[in-house]
């Protein structure tokens, strides 16, 4: 999922450099949403791992 966020970030940067404002804004928005989802899932996985008694990575 982090890979998708980075992909959309790169698309947004390229589109912004070429002057496609709408596409850049949309891709940047998708990248932000995916990044937040990735962070939330990562935190949930770390909490679940701690509850099971396994040490953090």
SS (H, E, C) 3-30: HHHHHHHHHHHHHHHHCCHHHHHHHHHH
* Residue at 56 is within a domain: no
* Residue at 29 is within a domain: yes
Range of the domain at 21: 2-51
Please tell me the total count of domains within the chain: 1
How far is the C-alpha of 54 from the C-alpha of 16, rounded, in Å?
Answer: 44
Token pair 């928005």 is at which residue?
A: 29
pLDDT tens for each residue of the chain, 57 residues long: 678 778 878 888 888 888 877 888 888 888 888 888 888 988 898 888 889 887 666
Residue 57: the pLDDT is 64
């Amino acid at each position: 999922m982090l890979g998708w966020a980075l992909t959309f970030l790169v698309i947004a940067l390229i589109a912004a450099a070429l002057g496609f404002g709408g596409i850049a804004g949309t891709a940047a928005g998708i990248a932000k949403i995916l990044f937040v989802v990735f962070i939330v899932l990562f935190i949930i996985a770390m909490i679940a791992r701690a509850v099971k008694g396994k040490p953090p990575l």
